[in-house]
Amino acid sequence: MSAGVLIVTGGARGIGAATARLAASRGYSVCVNYLTNRDRAVSIVSDIEKSGGRAVAVQADIGVESEIQSLFQTVERDLGRPTALVNNAARLEKQTRLDEMDAARLQRMFATNIIGTMLCSREAVRRMSTRAGGAGGSIVNVSSAATRYGSPGEYVDYAATKGAVDVFTLGLAREVAEEGIRVNCVRPGHIYTELHAAGGEPDRVDRVKAQVPMQRGGQPEEVASAILWLLSKEASYVTGAILDVSGGR
- pLDDT tens-digit map of 138-187: 999 999 999 999 999 999 999 999 999 999 999 999 999 999 999 999 99
How would you class 156 by CB atoms within 10 Å of its CB: exposed for 0-12, middle for 13-18, buried for 19 or more? middle
Select which of 28, 158, 192, 237 is catalytic. Answer: 158
More confident site: 197 or 247: 247
More confident site: 230 or 2: 230
Helix (H, G, I), strand (E, B) or coil at 29: strand
138 DSSP β-pair partners: 84, 182
C-alpha distance from residue 95 to each of 41, 111, 151, 165, 213 (Å): 27, 19, 9, 21, 24
Report pLDDT for 2.
Answer: 83
CATH classification of the domain holding 114: 3.40.50.720
* pLDDT tens digits for range 47-99: 999 999 999 999 999 999 999 999 999 999 999 999 999 999 999 999 999 99
Residues spanned by the domain of 228: 4-245
Strand residues in the chain grouped as ranges (E): 4-8, 28-34, 55-59, 84-87, 137-142, 181-188, 242-245
- Identify which of 150, 166, 149, 45 has the alpha carbon closest to the alpha carbon of residue 113: 166
Domain count, the chain: 1
Reply yes or no on whether 28 is catalytic.
Answer: no
Quote the CA–CA distance of 101 and 44 in Å, as a whole number. 35
pLDDT over threshold 80, residue 209:
no
More confident site: 86 or 248: 86
Mean per-residue pLDDT, 199-214: 76
* pLDDT tens digits for range 22-32: 999 999 999 99
pLDDT band for 13, please (50, 70, 90 cuts). Answer: very high
Report pLDDT for 26.
Answer: 97
Report pLDDT for 196.
Answer: 55
- Identify which of 77, 73, 32, 33 has the alpha carbon closest to the alpha carbon of residue 55: 32
**Residues above pLDDT 70, as percent of the chain:** 96
Quote the CA–CA distance of 23 and 176 in Å, as a whole number. 24
Q: Are 186 and 245 in contact (CB under 8 A)?
A: yes
Q: Are 199 and 91 in contact (CB under 8 A)?
A: no
pLDDT over threshold 60, residue 109:
yes
Quote the CA–CA distance of 219 and 91 in Å, as a whole number. 19
Question: What are the strands of the beta sheet with 84-87, ordered from one edge?
Answer: 55-59, 28-34, 4-8, 84-87, 137-142, 181-188, 242-245
Helix (H, G, I), strand (E, B) or coil at 88: coil
Report pLDDT for 216.
Answer: 87
